[in-house]
Amino acid sequence: MNIKDQAFNIHKSSFSITRENREGLNGHPGMVVWLTGLSGSGKSTIANALEKRLYAEGRHTYILDGDNIRSGLCSDLGFSDVDRIENIRRITEVSKLMLDAGLVVITAFISPFRSERKIARELIGNDNFFEVYVKTPLAVCEQRDPKGLYKMARNGSLRNMTGIDSPYECPESPSAIIDTSSSTPYQVAGMLISAIKSRSANSCHLASAKTR
């Protein structure tokens, strides 16, 4: 059976319980908070702090983190441009499924290319996609270097390091811009909580208006 045959034999199923039903049970709308930035910028730390705050408020959440995903779902991928693109494609599909479950999904990935982030936004839906640019300067990221990756990239023992010999394309119109060199993770989480609640309130208002 070839790929065309497989596509022809796929019939999408419809089920009784919808995303709206799940969100009603959860007591809040779902959302994808997409953290993007260089390695060492603080994405995972922010994701953890944000989830703790959301969890304390009774929101149903889940973090998709770069290293964790690459140890399982994307363990077959490397760091070439092609593999990075496939990595983000898979994350986008998983995020969309979790959004359908009514969760607040927090993703922490470098996701260096605008085109892939654009595809993620389009697939997930602009109203559901909250892009956070963790704009920590490269010099600060290198100084932290928690995994020793920048050191290896500088001495030539590691290739395709984003920010060194592989490009990072900054978001052009992110929902929020954060610099962890001047704010603590707790402060950042607080700022994002306020922005997310504002977005959620607007989403609920729009949903109510559509049903009138």
Q: Where are the alpha helices (DSSP H) in the chain?
A: 3-8, 19-26, 43-56, 66-70, 81-100, 114-124, 138-144, 149-154, 185-211
Please choose, from the candidates 140, 101, 103, 96, the residue with its C-alpha nearest in 3D space to the C-alpha of residue 121: 96
Contact 54, 193 (CB under 8 A): yes
Query: In terms of DSSP bridges, do strands 31-36 and 61-65 run parallel, antiparallel, or are they unpaired?
Result: unpaired
**Token pair 């009514």: residue:** 102
Residues known to be catalytic: 111
Report which DSSP code applies to 158: S
